[in-house]
Structure 1
Amino acid sequence: MIIQEITDDFQQPLRDRRVLLSMELLAASTLESNDRARFVMAVSALEPLAQQAPLGDEVDRFVERALADLRADGALPLHLRASLEGRLRQLRTESVRQALSRLCAKWFPGDRTARDTIDHVYALRSEILHEGRVSDLDTLLGVETLKVRQYLRRIYEQEFARAFRVGTTV
């Protein structure tokens, strides 16, 4: 059975390098030394899958107006203006969090729990990265990591159009 699984896997074409990176990050998460690092790495495996879509012509026009206003403002130091310009340009596309929410409709049609869970774990990851910890100290990161792994597994099964035979573990 193991040889057949390996043979089947090598016969699968890699359609998207983002999926491979996601799988590598998820695999790397298992090597982390504590629950917090495992969780952050597992949730980070979602990011390569979140292809950010443009927000459209109206947003582009708004950004162009804001950029013109910024360039016309001589009071701001050059280094600050350059930083703000880069951040304004990013407004043309949806955020990673928005992209994940949108893609949940594709990955998990009709499953509102999946979208809510992925949004929740992404928010927890942001808390950890920006605050150093989650605000709710009763959060069990091992349990949250398992949820992420299970959703990623479902995504990978869709990407490879096959069911995996071995379950997930934390």
Structure 2
Amino acid sequence: MLKGREPPAVQPLQGQDPDRIADYRLIGRLGEGGMGVVYLARSPRGRMVAVKTIRAELAAAPDFRRRFAKEIAVAQQVGKEWTAAVLAADPDAALPWVATAYVAGPTLHQVVVEQGGPLPENSVRGLASGLCRALGGIHAAGLIHRDLKPSNVMVTIDGPKVIDFGIVRALDGSTAGG
């Protein structure tokens, strides 16, 4: 889709960051948001993964862990072609976490900011097609992605990939969004 773009820089781990989460060895920080911190990690088999930890105050909220576990179970059913695959999770850990396939590349936000304006028409068409397929897969699994924004769309050599489902809600209403 777009050539010559570098993936976002990995920040060093900070003093309060753990060295490991479950079997994943943490390498650095990919980012931090309202739900928690996202780390770049290596699996026991050497695969690069993104591990997202949930903030302690959210984990302590009534009903959060049950909702988080349901959201993970449904997210694992989403097709992998247009989204980051959910690999493992532990909603019952002291610090709940979810591991997804690491998607290398810049975010759509970074691409537009770096270019300083609109994307070329062909790029927009490819992006729109990929996002429609991603959202179709997400909805087919029974989820609504409630945090779809340019910073949650990775631009890869194979087309766009939707990441960080953030706060999702099941279409059948059994999982409350919040």
TM-score, length basis structure 2: 0.25
Structure with larger RCO (C-alpha < 8 A, sep 6+): 1
Answer 1 or 2: which has greater strand percent.
2
Structure possessing the higher radius of gyration over alpha carbons: 1
Greater per-residue helix proportion: 1
Question: TM-score scaled to structure 1, two decimals?
Answer: 0.26
